[in-house]
Every structure is written in C-alpha cells, then in structure tokens.
Structure 1
Amino acid sequence: MTGPARTETSETRQVAALPWRQGENGVEVMMITSRETRRWVIPKGGRMVGKTDPQAAAQEAYEEAGIQGETLEAPIGHFRYGKRLKSGATQACVVAVYPLEVLIQLGAWPEDLQRERRWMTLAEAAEAVHEDDLAQLIRDFAPALHAF
C-alpha cells in the first residue's frame, strides 16, 4: 500500500537565468521546455562548487538553452516550486533568478535534442509559466532598471 507523495521539509537552493534581449517589440525572454513535463520554464539548476551563483546560472543557460551572455551579479528575485523526485517525493526548492543578456545564441548545445526554446514577450512568458511568483518576476522585469 502506498501513501500520498511526501514533501521534503528543507528547501533546496537553486539558481536560474532569465535570458533576455531587446526585440523589435520590446524586451523578450527565452523560454525552454522542461525535459519531463514539457512545460515552459527558464534555465535553472543546482548551485555549483567553484562557481558563483551568477556563473552557475549562466552555465545552466548554456547547457539547457544554448545561449551565452552577461549575467547580473545580484538576483532580481526568487521563486519557489516543488521538484518531483524519482522516489515520488516532492522537494521544495527556492530559486534565485539572475537576468542574462543574451549575446550569443548557438545552433547546437548540450541539451538541444531534449528541449525546445522560444523567444517570448514578457507577457507571453509570464502567462506560460506555472509558478505565480516567477510569472510576477517576468512581468516586472525591466532591464533599464539594472546595470548590465
């Protein structure tokens, strides 16, 4: 007999990149699909030994979305989500979001066969994500307010 999926009590800290560019109609962000559920997300992952959090966010952006650029040293905010583990449990995660101005978009990258990527307006991206606090971060994002 199996019970309900349990939730881990401690939060895991992660980092994410909010890849952006100035498009013809204003600021656009690059969204990618998750490998498991195919939902629209931003590149994210665990903190990395030997890298600062902004460097780790940039590494995730390269691996998951095939992009490179300039990352802010301070996060613009945080969002929370529940990561489903192979065991069926859910791990609570808090994710620091670092804007990344995209300077290079590669044609091939480590996870290009596992994900889709798409440029979206801020409104489209905010509508596409499932986490309310991430949607609000995207809606409120204004590169002019930050020193790149």
Structure 2
Amino acid sequence: MRKRMLILRQSGVLPYRMTAGKAEVLLVTSTRRKRWIVPKGWIALGLSAADSAAKEALEEAGVSGHVVTPAIETYVDRKWGYPCEMELFLMRVETVLDDWSEAKQRKRQWLSLSEAAKRVKSKTLKHLLIRLEAQPALLDQH
C-alpha cells in the first residue's frame, strides 16, 4: 500500500498600487520573527484560494481590492517538515484601512519593487519582485 504524502496549502497576495506610473507593493512583518513578507495564510474552509488570500490581506495588512486570477506564482515551500503549496495572487489595492485586526502585531510598508526585493527573505518572492520590475506591464494590465 502506498503512503500518501500530506501537502499543506496556503494562499497569499502581493498587494500593489500604481503611484505616478510606478508600482509600489505592500509588505507586512511576520508576527514572530518580524521579517518582511506578503499577507498569506491557510486556505479557509469554503473559500477559494483567491478569496482566502483577500481575507488574509484584510486581516494582516488592512487592505482590500481586486484579486487577479489565476495566481501569478505557485510554489512549494516547507512548513513543519511538510511540503506546503503556496498560491500567490496579485491584488490591486482599492482600500487602505487606518485600523485593522492585526495592526498591533504587524507593521506594513509601501515599497518600490526593487526595495521590496531587497527586504524579503523568500527567494521565490524576491525573484517574482525582480521579474515584475523588469516587466511592469504585468501589473499595468490589471
């Protein structure tokens, strides 16, 4: 009998806005290590990966907007020793709240794509930010 491998699933968003024709992305700090990351979390029961990612953006960063499907990036990371599939969506931010549910646990900051690429630890996220900077039309079309 074959052993089935547990695969965890998360989704997240890369929140962005256009300011004077230039893209800016919103990063948040993780709650424990205070690293710069994107809003992400477990896919909520009954929600699509994109809807769950939008929920995380509101909770973790206090932003809402248009989530672009399909995911711009899907990759596998390790979480607690298990493979964890991450679906990452672009979100064009329409609303930024002054107060949100995790405001006391996280910082948030709007950054240029190049500055954001310097701050994140994830190689996949770093490469995505560099790719978006090289191909800004990927953001402009949304």
Same fold (TM over 0.5): yes
Distance 2:126 2:75 in 1: 9
One-letter amino acid of the counterpart of residue 95, structure 1 = M
Distance 1:59 1:143 in 2: 26
Cα distance per residue 1:65-123 (max 9 Å; x no partner):
0001000120011244333xxxxx44432211100000000001110000000001111
- Find runs of 4+ consecutive structure 1 residues off by over 4 angstroms: none
Aligned to 1:49, the other structure's residue is in SS state coil
Q: Is the 8 A contact 1:11 1:91 kept in 2?
A: yes
Matched, 1:122 2:113: yes
Distance 2:136 2:92 in 1: 9
TM-score, normalised to structure 1, is 0.83
Q: Shift of residue 25 of structure 1?
A: 6.3
Unmatched segments (≥5 aa) in structure 2:
none
Q: Shift of residue 133 of structure 1?
A: 1.2
Partner of 1:98: 89
- After TM superposition, the structure 1 = structure 2 runs for residues 48-127 of structure 1, keeping only pairs within 5 Å, are 48-83=44-79, 89-127=80-118
TM-score, normalised to structure 2, is 0.86
Q: Is the 8 A contact 1:79 1:134 kept in 2?
A: no
Distance 2:31 2:78 in 1: 15
Partner of 1:145: 138
